[in-house]
Every structure is written in C-alpha cells, then in structure tokens.
Amino acid sequence: MKTQNLFKMSLLAAATASVLSGCSIEIGSDDDDEPAPSQPEVTELSFAEISVPLSLDAQQQVRASGEVVVNGQIQSIGYRKIMATAYEDQVTGEKFGLSKDYMDDPITFEDGSDYICNGTNAGVGSGLDFNSILQKNDKLYMVSQFECQAGSIYVQELAQDEYGHLSPVEGTLQHVSQKNEFGGWVHCAGQTTPWQSHLGSEEYEPSGDLTVGDDGKTGNFYYDAVAPYWKGDLTMSNPYYYGWTPEVEINDKSEAEYTKHYSMGRFAHELAYVMPDNRTVYLSDDGTNGGFYMFIADQEKDLSAGTLYAAKWVQKSKENYGTADLEWVNLGHASNAEIRAEVAKKPHLSDIFDFVDPDENDQCATGYTSISTSAYHECVKLKDINQDSVVDAADEKIASRLETRRFAAYKGATTEFRKEEGITYNAKDGKLYLAMSEVSRGMEDGSSRETGGYNHIRVDANACGVVYELDVMPDSNIGSDYIAKNMRGLVAGVPFAYADGDVYAGNSCDVNSIASPDNVSYLEDSNTLIIGEDTSKHVNNMIWSYDLDSGKLTRIYTAPLDAETTSPFWYKDINGFGYLTAVAQHPEGRESDMESEIGYVGPFRFNVEMDK
C-alpha cells in the first residue's frame, strides 16, 4: 500500500504533543504566570490508500485502510464490526433493528417472521443508518437509528478493551420507545451533539394531503408502509406526525429519553448539525427542490425552542458548480410545545394553504404566491389556520413548521437544491461543508423543474455530485458567531463512461473521485475531510479522505456490493482512542447474512504504544 496526503504542521512546537489529542499549547508569558490563549494543534495525517475492488470476493467485503501515519508515526488500523442487524441480546431478548408498533410490541411480516429493518428483506426502508457513541455516566453507549418507514431506535452499551476495540455488552440492548411522540419515520443521518446526545432525523416527510380511503390506505406506498406501526389502522396516524428532528439523551439512571423537536421544522431531514456554540444548528433537506435551513436555539444545549431560517442563494458565478452569497430568511420563532399541539390536531394540507392552478401562461391568480418546491409549481395562499378571522403571525408560525419548505419558498428563500446530504464543520478554518449528492434539476439554469420558482441557482449539472464549502463568521443581527455567509464548490465527482470490457466497466463516475457524496465528517484540527458515498454510479460505494490543502482524494473504505456507506462520523477521543464509524447499509450482494452492520476504521492511538 502507499501513503499520501501528508499535511503540513502549522505549529512545529506541537510535534511532540499528544497524537490527535487536540490538547491546547500553552505559551509562557514573561511578565506574569497567566497562560496565553491556547491554539489548536494541527495534526499531520495520511491514510494508506486501498484499491478499487475488482474480484467478486473483494466486492463482497467491507475493506478499509490498514495503515495511517499520524505526526510522522505509522499506526496499524483497520475495519472492525461492532454489530449487525438481527443481533439478539440473550439477556434482554431484544433484536437489533426489530421494528415495534405504537404499543412497543414487535412487528412481524405476514409469515410471522420478525420485521428487522435491514434493507434487504420485505420491509420498506433501507436499514441501519446513523449510530451515536455517547460518553455518559462513565460508560459508552451506542444509540442507533433505522431508516425504515416504521423507524426504530436502539441503545446499546459498549465495552472498550485495552487496545481500544469496541464490542457490545451483553444484557444492555434496549429498544427506545417513540410512542409518546407519534412513532418514528425513516431515520436517516445524525450527529453526536457536543453535549453527548444523539440527534437524529426523519427523512422524506409524507405529503400533508394524504387521506385514508375506504380500503384503509392512502394510495401512497411509502406512507401506507407505516400502517404496521399502528397495528394496521392508518386512521390513527397523520402525515404531520413525521418529518421532524428526534433527540435521544441518556439520563443519570442510564435510561434513554426521547424527544421530537417540532421547533426545528418539518421537511426531508437528512441531518441536523450542531455548531460549537450549542445553539446554532444547520439542517439539510434531501430530495428535489429542497431548502437549506438554520436554527438558532434560545438556550444552549436545548433545542426545544428557537428561530428558524432558510437560505437564499445569491449567485455570483456558475463556475465550479456555483459560487454564491447566502442571505438568511427569517421563518419565525416557535417552541416544541406550540407546534406539537398543532400536530396532535391531525391537520391536513388544505388547513394550511389554499391552492389554485396556474393559468395557461403559468401565472398565478391575484392574491396567490407562485412557488416551486418538491411539489413543483404551485400557486399558494396562507390560510387562517387557527380560525381567528385573520391571517396573522400565529398562522405563519404554524405554517413555518408544518410546511417548512413551502413556507420558505413563500417567503422568498431558495428551494432549488437537489439531494442535499451531510454537513460537517472545520472550526480551525471556520468552514462548513455540505454534500450535494447530485447537482441537477432545480439547480440547473432554466430547469423545467423550476417553473414558477425564482431560478436562484443557475449552474451546470453534475450527476456525480459536489461537496460545497461555506465560510462561517459572526453575525450580530442574527445573534450567532456561526453564520454561513457564502457557498462554493470544493470537490466534485467526475462523470466517466468506461468501455465494455474495461476492468472498471459498470462505473459511470471516475473511480478515482467521489460519486454521489452523502455524509461527510471533518477530522478535528487536521486537514482531513471524510466523504462517504450513496451511489449507484460506483459498483462499490466508497469512503474517501480529502486533503483540504492539496486537494488529493484517498480511497480508505469500500462497502460490499449494493451497500451504501451511511453516516461516517469521527470520534476524536474516546478514552484516548479515535474512531471513524461507518455503516454498510443493505449489502444485498454479499454472500454472508446480508444484514446492515455498524463498525469503525481504527482505533487511532493517543499516547499509547500499541499496534494490535
């Protein structure tokens, strides 16, 4: 194997400091004993690159880099599985990924077998997705969320041995009930928050215009798939129950406490990412013609109330897949309690907006606003939702959370982003990174998908996707030190047609570059950005290390055939060891058990001389 992507140390005096420790460097003062302000250590790091898997055996395995150079020292790393779906705890009797209903009873298929959310059986959904590792009560807990329509969450205690290897502790696997918040739905990406909680997501919110017919169904395949959660009775459900941001915290009694944050808006949540102030949160909206959002909580470490904003793209150039300034459109303040009360009323879309068809020239009637969102061109007018005889701020508050994407467009924000995925932050350089799995449709200049919209984004398409970079800085008007001010393309996939018979035939994006970037993770205080894929354009999905100085990409992980690499996430220091976690989701082509699995690349060592 070869090593590459060696980073420059910006602080030579830190060369002998803790490996990947992030410890502060105190510079002495001549005239007093007070320490000078500390500066972060910058880590010099490089991975050994792995090859593109070509043999069937290699294509059906999880493969990862076996070596990393950290501050000039070689360390042996590798991939280790923690656990896979259907793992059964012999003490608690729980099964990892088993979906349960609103009474917390196990859901079964028609043949009586367990409804395991693994993405390869008869269930509707993709399988295991994000996993948080939480350090609480002098223990390690893994909170795992599952991307099925009946979306489940589990918590598992982990053991860490002297070499840093992680494993499940028998007798600790527990299902996290969501029944007090209407159940869970398509849990996608997430984050371990700075206060050691699990912040999740509910992706692809169901349309608010669905109604249950005489046959007990709505006709929407994906929403109807949530019926088993309600023991087959969809009239007990409502589309507005889903599309929110859930959080799981471990209390002092080691119990899981579950909350849905209705204050943060409802849309196709891919990821909610908390910034270092513990108040500013960026929110990505997956799908076609989505928005990009920011939430400012009233209080630190408390997401139950705050102000929601939507980005407006002000284009400067179409080069490099777009350069733009960002303006933030204020969508108003709300609390969980206020919005949950509205959700509990089981509203319908027609309670929130009035709609008329555009005329033959695609124009809207007087009094109606022309918008283009994931529902495409609509002429909308806000209704008197709370029926107090006037359309006022109270109605706007409800609409801003229950129909966030439509309301953002109604207020003039940009709803043209396509396949908006992961978010991560580089505090050292003040940069936010946002993955766009595909640049197309609403992002293209003059796209038919934008009829009736603003055409804010006018760039060239790239089916292989782009990771964007955003400068973050203080804004006294908004009241946060972490406001993204602009956006530009950083690294892009490269469409490439391999000829029949070529060893890389079947790949439609260059195998030496990214394809459909999904979730991203910045390795703190280094120049390494991790980029995972969710793609059909590479035969095997890959995870990359990207050198922010040189622009080089290094392939460090490949998933089995048909498996997505979900939610790579960096844990810098867990009791002296570092981990890059990743999930191989729905590995349908693998010859083994075809279960989704969570594992990690590592462990990275901190001040220990071990190589096992």
Residue 35 has pLDDT above 50, yes or no: no
Three-class SS state of 596 = coil
Q: Span 319-347, mean pLDDT?
A: 98
The DSSP secondary structure of 222-241, one letter per residue, reads: HHHTTGGGGTT-GGG--GGG
* Tokens encoding 304: 């139950």
- Between the two ends of the chain, the Cα-to-Cα distance in Å is 19
Residue percentage of the chain with pLDDT more than 70: 91
- pLDDT value at position 591? 55
pLDDT of residue 45: 87
Is residue 190 within 8 Å of residue 128, measured between CB atoms?
A: no
Other C-beta atoms closer than 10 Å to the C-beta of 432 total 22
The conformational region for residue 316 under phi > 0 = left, psi -120 to 50 = alpha, else beta, is alpha
pLDDT of residue 485: 98
Tell me which DSSP letter residue 206 carries: P
Query: Would the pLDDT of 456 be above 80?
Result: yes
Q: Is the pLDDT of residue 5 over 80?
A: no
What per-residue confidence (pLDDT) applies to 194? 98
Give the model's pLDDT for residue 11.
26
The residue among 452, 535, 465 whose CA lies nearest residue 494 is: 465
Banded pLDDT at 321 (limits 50, 70, 90) = very high
pLDDT attached to residue 597: 96
Q: What is the pLDDT of residues 392-404, one digit of tens each?
A: 999 999 999 999 9
Q: Over 60: is that where the pLDDT of 348 sits?
A: yes
Q: What pLDDT does residue 607 have?
A: 60
Task: Determine the 3-state secondary structure of 425 from DSSP.
Answer: strand
Residue 588: per-residue pLDDT: 80
Q: What is the pLDDT of residues 403-420, one digit of tens each?
A: 999 999 999 999 999 999
Considering the chain, what is the average pLDDT of its residues?
92
How many alpha carbons lie under 13 Å from residue 403 in its C-beta half-sphere? Answer: 29
Using the 8-state DSSP alphabet, how is residue 262 labeled? G
Token reading at 428: 């050292």
How far apart, in Å, are the Cα atoms of 443 and each of 294, 322, 410, 490? 20, 9, 18, 16
| Contact assessment for residue 470 and residue 433, using Cβ atoms and an 8 Å cutoff | yes
Residue 269 φ/ψ, nearest 5 degrees: -60, 115
pLDDT tens digits for 182-229? 999 999 999 999 999 999 999 999 999 999 999 999 999 999 999 999
Give the pLDDT score at 37: 44
Res. 19: pLDDT tops 70 = no
- C-alpha distances (whole Å) from 539 to each of 55, 126, 324, 589, 598 are 12, 18, 33, 11, 21
Question: Dihedrals φ, ψ of 229, to 5°?
Answer: -65, -35
In the chain, the amino acid numbered 230 is W
Cα 330 to Cα 298: distance, rounded to the nearest angstrom: 15
pLDDT of residue 447: 77
Lowest-confidence segment of 4-18, 45-59, 146-160, 506-520 by average pLDDT: 4-18
Give the pair of three-digit tokens for residue 200: 């999740």
Q: How far is it, in rounded angstroms, from Cα 543 to Cα 568?
A: 8
Percentage of the residues of the chain whose pLDDT score is greater than 90: 88
Q: How far is CA 233 from CA 130, 209, 214, 221, 569, in A?
A: 29, 18, 12, 15, 38
What mean pLDDT is predicted for residues 251-256? 96
Question: What's the pLDDT tens digit per position in 39-91?
Answer: 456 677 899 999 999 999 999 999 999 999 988 899 999 999 999 999 999 99
Confidence grade of residue 606 (pLDDT, cut at 50, 70, 90): low
Cα distance between residue 375 and residue 396, in whole Å: 20
Which of 2 and 84 is assigned the larger pLDDT?
A: 84
User: For the whole model, what pTM was predicted?
Assistant: 0.93
